[in-house]
Chains A and B, each alone.
Chain A
Amino acid sequence: MPKLTIDGKEIEVPAGTTIIQAADKLGITIPRYCYHEALPVSGNCRICMVEVEKMPKLQIACYTPVAEGMVVKTTSPKVIDVRKVVLGYLLVNHPLDCPVCDQAGECKLQDYYMEHGQYDSALNDVKVKKEKKAISLGPTVMLDQERCILCTRCVRFTDNISKTHEFGVFDRGDHSQLDLYPGKELNNNYSGNVVDICPVGALTDKDFRFKCRVWYLDKTKSVCPGCSTGCNITVEWDKSRPHRQKKDRVMRLKPRLNPNVNAYWMCDTGRYNYHFIDQNRIVAPQLKNDLISWPQAIDTVVNAVKAVKDPNRIGVIASAQLTNEDLFAVRKLFKDNLKVSNVDFRVPEQPGKSDDFLLKADRNPNTAGASAILAPNDGTTQAIIEKAKKGELDVLYVFGQDLVKLYGKETVAQIRKSTKMFVYQGSNINDTCSYAHLNLPSAVYAEKDGTFTNFQNRVQRISPAFMPLGEAKGDWEILSLLSEKIGPAFPYRKSQDVFKAVTEAVAPFAEMTYEKIADQGLVLRT
């Protein structure tokens, strides 16, 4: 284990570590363009030069292995001077596109220029113009060759991570340019990641293009609800423009580092799966064709439930899209308090496409949590549907499951006729809504505080980015309102209280808290 000193701080790291990794461990940031922790080292951008004592020349921090007794300086005048020169060269052919560039505001070229720029240009010649500007590489990514600084991060990503080999650098000298191999198209399920790793504005996201400037965005830590992998994400939403409230709130999703789950990446399926947050939402409780207030809606459900004498005449179809807290509220209200046995969340869904990297066939984020909390008997859902069709159920309570898609129109129309109260509690409008007697608006994941349990049984936290749209409420909050009338009332005031009850009642969750779950999650006990 060699010991070295960086900027006067000592650190001991395993042999073979590079200087930049050691500096990152110490919290010393060395500028970088081509270096990325998850990609092989290329060493072409030269911005990470550091001074190592007793070495005649400056060394690149990303490719110099540490040695015993090494003394590294990252901010000496010599280093700063070289950074200025390197930046000067990188900017020789870089266009002054910042006003129209989507990367402006989170561009490393801008950031380092503010710190180390020369400001007075030493360039006399005209910039070399590249052939193509604003060209479409595929369904998700746009390329601007002029802005590219040829760090080859995207080339290494498609070679080593997605293994699809689309990108290459062609020609030489100042004619060299990034492009796709002839006849190829950047169309794989991980193509959005090249936008994240591009340190400049060469690769931009078509979905986000010109939609919003990045300095308007607020970032909330969350977990992707797209599949059971539960990739860690940040929900980036338009916060600082209150005069724009009528527009969509969520602007984009970005992956968040979690080495145990998704590392730096996320799939395109999840990345562009956010439009449902602002579009096509149920915004107010609706009884048949009339919009009603929340107290009226709660009374309607409570009267229907109280009129049922036999708890076996109530059916509940929950969903693995709900958080652990919501599912626990379902269990507590229906299973424990009302003694309903017809509670299940598993529906015969068509499994989605999956791959061997991040995307899983199970498109629900909380299947593991739902199994642990509700622990249903096999075949319950089918039994509930059969009973509802035969008229053996008076109340059917459905959480966000599109029954029309799963069982067909005839079955759901039959259920509407044979049940006295068919409640649909969900966030978005779908075909089932029109068949339900009562629609209750619930919050989507970006408006909820709670936890999801992914396929590795890792419990991960989602945080609310903003208030629910319209009159929507969180699922457990709606059930809490119901419990006040049905009794006994839930003693919970916030999600944390519900989660505390989960940890006490469900053994695998024992001794977990939101603080312990933090950003990286905790694995369920087995």
Chain B
Amino acid sequence: METPKRRAELEKYYDPNSTFGHLRVAQMKRSWKLKNRRELTWWESTYIPTLFSGVWLTSAHFFRNLGLHILHQVGLKKDVRAAATYQYPEEKRPLALRARTRHRLTKREDGTPRCVACMMCETVCPARCIEITAAEHPDPNIEKFPAEFILDLGKCVYCGFCVEVCPEDAIRMDTQRLDIAEYSRESMIYNKERLMNG
């Protein structure tokens, strides 16, 4: 629906070459589409045509998948993929190994955290969700360790910078856990023990 006039209007306000300019242009287009939405006709406003087209679409998928799964059972049409269903949460969908999932703190052989509280992750974190309190380690060769390591998953944006910046490989995002929903904001705040053992 983009006319040359409209285009000129957009570009007058937003330079698409500026930082995030293309995003602003896209936002403008979207709002323009919403504003200029077509009115429904009487026949359409009864929702009968959409109802039937919906039923048609769903049943088409159902019968296609049913037929394909039966054919797969007898060894036919193996090259055509049919939709698969995972029985979540009993059966979990496999994740890529490199997927960024909930954090964990890695441990030394004696079970203490590898973290030396250098606060690189706290510094680099764009959401400022990490808060470390450092303390003196009894072993002078380690020197520093986190007395408390608080990570607020309610704020975390899963960018993975903390993992990338860590000089000690002390924080990883490889737990393969994404089901971190909680009933309160407070329980989204993970402390050192939860990050090491959970």
Indicate whether A210 reaches chain B with its CB closer than 8 angstroms: yes
Among B116, B122, B135, B141, which residue has its beta carbon within 8 angstroms of that of A99?
B116
**Is B123's CB under 8 angstroms from A210's CB?**
no
B118 contacts which chain A residues (CB < 8 A)? 98-100, 104, 213
**B172 adjacent to chain A (CB < 8 Å):** no
Q: A243-B128, A244-B131 are in contact. Are A134 and B123 (CB under 8 A)?
A: no
The residue in A209, A213, A244 that gathers the most chain B C-beta atoms within 10 A of its C-beta is A213
B140 within 8 A of A: yes
User: For B141, what are the chain A residues with a Cβ–Cβ distance below 8 Å?
Assistant: 133
Assess A133 versus B135: contact at CB under 8 Å? Given A99-B118, A99-B120, A99-B167: no
Nearest neighbor of A129 in chain B, beta-carbon distance: B141
Is the pair A215, B123 in contact by a Cβ cutoff of 8 Å? yes
The answer to whether A163 has its CB under 8 Å from any CB of chain B is no
- Write the chain A residue with the least CB distance to B150: A243
Decide yes or no: A133 and B123 within 8 Å by CB, A100-B116, A210-B117, A210-B135 being known contacts.
no
Docked complex: A94-138 residues within 8 A CB-CB of B: 97-100, 104, 132-135
B136 interfacial by beta-carbon distance below 8 Å: yes
A172 at the A/B interface (Cβ < 8 Å)? no
* A99→B121 CA distance, assembly (Å): 11
Say how far A139's CB is from chain B's closest CB, in angstroms: 15
Bound CA span A98–B116, Å: 11
| Contact residues of B: prevailing secondary structure | loop
The answer to whether A134 and B128 have CB atoms under 8 Å apart is: no
B120 contacts across to A, CB distance below 8 A: 99
- B125-144 residues with Cβ-Cβ distance < 8 A to A are 128, 131, 134-136, 140-144
**In angstroms, how far is the closest chain B Cβ from the Cβ of A104?**
8
A133-B167 contact, Cβ under 8 Å, with A100-B116, A213-B123: no
Q: Number of contact residues on A: which range applies? A: 10 to 19
Question: Which residues from 104 to 161 on chain B have a C-beta closer than 8 Å to any C-beta of chain A?
Answer: 116-120, 122-123, 128, 131, 134-136, 140-144
Q: A296 to chain B: closest CB distance in Å?
A: 35
**Docked pose: A104 CA to B144 CA in angstroms:** 14
Asked if A241 is an interface residue, CB under 8 A from chain B, the answer is yes
Closest residue to B135 on the A side, CB-wise? A210
Asked if residues A210 and B136 are in contact (CB atoms below 8 Å), the reply is yes
Contact code string A393-434 (vs B, CB < 8 Å = 1, else 0)? 000000000000000000000000000000000000000000
Contact indicator A209/B167 (Cβ below 8 Å): no
* Chain B interface residue number, banded: 10 to 19
Q: How far is the CA of A135 from the CA of B135 in the complex (A)?
A: 15
B131 touching A210 by the CB < 8 A rule? no
- A100–B128 CB distance below 8 A: no
Task: Give CA–CA (A98, B136) in the complex, Å.
Answer: 16
Residues of B within 8 A of A97 (CB): 143
How many whole Å from A136's CB to the nearest CB in chain B? 10
Q: How far is the CA of A213 from the CA of B119 in the complex (A)?
A: 7
Task: Please name all residues of chain B whose beta carbon is closer than 8 Å to the beta carbon of A133 when the two chains form the complex.
Answer: 140-141, 143
Known contacts A100-B118, A210-B117: A134-B143 contact under CB 8 Å: yes
The chain B residue sitting closest to A102, CB to CB, is: B144
Contacting B at CB under 8 A, from A206-224, are 209-211, 213, 215-216
- A100–B131 Cα distance when bound, in Å, is 16
Residue of B nearest to A96 (CB): B167
In this complex, which of B136, B140, B141, B143 has the most chain A Cβ atoms within 10 angstroms of its Cβ?
B143
Chain A 72-105 against B: per-residue CB contact (8 Å), 1 yes, 0 no? 0000000000000000000000000111100010
Does B168 count as interface, using CB distance less than 8 angstroms? yes
CB A526 to nearest CB in B, in angstroms, measures 51
Known contacts A99-B168, A215-B123, A210 near B140 by CB under 8 Å = no
> Which residues on the A side are within 8 Å of B122 (C-beta)?
241
Q: CA of A99 to CA of B123 in the docked complex: distance in angstroms?
A: 12
Q: How far is the CA of A132 from the CA of B141 in the complex (A)?
A: 9
CA distance A243 to B123 in the complex (A): 12
Q: Which of B117, B144, B167 counts the most chain A CB atoms within 10 A?
A: B144
A243 touches B136 (CB 8 A): no
Are B117 and A134 touching (Cβ within 8 A)? no
Q: Which residues of B contact A135 (CB under 8 A)?
A: 140
List A contacts of B123 (CB < 8 A). 213, 215-216
A213 to B133, CA, bound (A): 11
Q: Chain A contacts of B117 at CB under 8 A?
A: 100, 210
A104 to B140, CA, bound (A): 18
Residue of B nearest to A97 (CB): B143
Contact A210 B128 (CB under 8 A): no
When the two chains form their complex, are residues B116 and A210 in contact, meaning their CB atoms are under 8 A apart? no
Contact (Cβ within 8 A) B134 A241: no
Residues of A within 8 A of B119 (CB): 213
What residues of B have a CB within 8 angstroms of the CB of A213 in the complex?
118-119, 123
Rounded to whole Å, the gap between the CB of A68 and the closest CB of chain B is 51
* Least distance between A241 CB and chain B CB atoms (Å): 7
Nearest CB in chain B: distance from A240 CB, A: 9
6 interchain pairs, CB-CB under 8 A: A100-B118, A100-B144, A133-B143, A210-B134, A213-B119, A244-B131
The 5 closest A-B pairs by CB, nearest first: A99-B118, A210-B134, A134-B140, A100-B144, A133-B140
